[in-house]
Amino acid sequence: MIINILGAGTWGTTIGCLIAKNKPLYEINIWQRNHSKSQLISSSRIHENLSNYRIPENINFTSNFNNLDGESLSIIAVPTSAVSNILSKYSFSKKTKFIIACKGFDIRTGLLPSQLLEKKYKVLPKNISILSGPNHAEEIIDNKPSAAVVASTNEKLAIELQKLFFHRNFRVYTSSDVMGVQVGAAVKNVIAIASGLCVGLELGDNAQAALVSRGMNELATLKNLYNINIKSLYGLSGLGDLIATCYSKHSRNRKLGYLIGKGRSLAESKKEIGMVSEGVNTCKILYDISVEHKLDMPICNEIYNILFSNTDPKESIYNLMTRSLKIEN
* Residues designated catalytic: 188
At how many degrees (to 10) do helices 279-292 and 252-261 cross? 80
Cβ(118)–Cβ(128) below 8 Å = yes
Please give the backbone phi and psi of residue 128, each rounded to the nearest 5 degrees, phi first: -115, 135
Cβ(110)–Cβ(289) below 8 Å = yes
Helix or strand (DSSP H, E) at 185:
helix 178-200
- Alpha-carbon distance of 32 to 234, in angstroms, equals 34
CA distances (Å), origin 249, targets 41, 81, 235, 328: 25, 24, 22, 30
Cβ(158)–Cβ(174) below 8 Å = yes
Cβ(285)–Cβ(105) below 8 Å = yes
DSSP β-bridge partners for residue 191: none
Residue 183's contacts (CB-CB under 8 Å, 6 or more residues apart) are 112, 219, 222, 226, 228, 233, 238
